[in-house]
Amino acid sequence: MKTRILYNRIAVLREERGISRKELAEKIGVNFQTVGYLERCEYNPSLDLAFKISEYFNLPIEFIFSTKPMKHMSQEILELKTAKDR
Amino acid sequence: MKTRILYNRIAVLREERGISRKELAEKIGVNFQTVGYLERCEYNPSLDLAFKISEYFNLPIEFIFSTKPMKHMSQEILELKTAKDR
DNA sequence: ATATATTGTTGTAATATTACAATAAATATA
DNA sequence: TATATTTATTGTAATATTACAACAATATAT
């Protein structure tokens, strides 16, 4: 199957939690370099690994990964706030 | 990474739509035998393939795939209906 | 009953993912 | 500055996924 590039928010989410790739890698049970590959979108995770990341951040897979480039979370917040008072 | 078994509802969802593995395979762009492997949980899909299946059925990945054995949809409906009148 | 389509199974090959090592570059911290 | 930590990059090997072929078993339809 010709694999599409998938986009993700791993780097920002990791930053929010203030943890290093090494720490995240340990939590989800992969090599720390694998986290690097994922953050740079050099390859896609398996569904199993996506679930582990989703469980660690306690966020749905669709919030972390997307087939289309992701909006910045900051932007998304502002849009949601604006939508509220219409 | 030691891969966990992931469970899925592909067979029932496909049945609901009344389509064969071959048809589903064509829609999501994989070999029809790959659908068989997935339905029998003989291996997990890539995240990319999970997204394609999710897009085809128009359902979130978490509704189709799970790390724990899935409740039957029939059962889930009844529980939701019961929860409503408490 | 006999075609036809669908599913299950086995095996091999190609591609994608993950692991791991080694080293350089960049960042933070003492 | 010097030291330690984190990140980036490259290369090789192991494992997992997908493709594909071939055939048997079931089910559907004519």
Q: What pLDDT score was predicted for residue A85?
A: 77
For the residues B69-86, what does the mean pLDDT come to?
A: 88
Q: Are B7 and B69 in contact (CB under 8 A)?
A: yes
Phi-psi region of A48 (alpha: psi -120 to 50; beta: other; left: phi over 0): alpha
Task: Measure in Å the smallest separation between the Cα of A29 and chain B Cα atoms.
Answer: 7
Chain D nucleotides reached by a protein CB under 7 Å: 5-11, 15-22
Amino acid whose CA is nearest the C1' of D19:
B31
How much is the mean pLDDT over chain A? 91
Structural domains in chain B plus CATH codes: 7-85 (1.10.260.40)
pLDDT higher than threshold 90 for residue B84? no
pLDDT higher than threshold 80 for residue A86? no
Residue A51 and residue B3: Cβ atoms within 8 Å?
no
Q: How confident is the model at residue A1 (pLDDT cuts 50, 70, 90)?
A: confident
What interhelical angle do B47-57 and B21-28 show, nearest 10? 110
Report the residue from A6, A30, A60 with minimal CB separation from B47.
A6
- How far: A11 CA to D1 C1' (Å)? 31
* pLDDT tens digits, one per residue of B3-47: 888 999 999 999 999 999 999 999 999 999 999 999 988 889 999
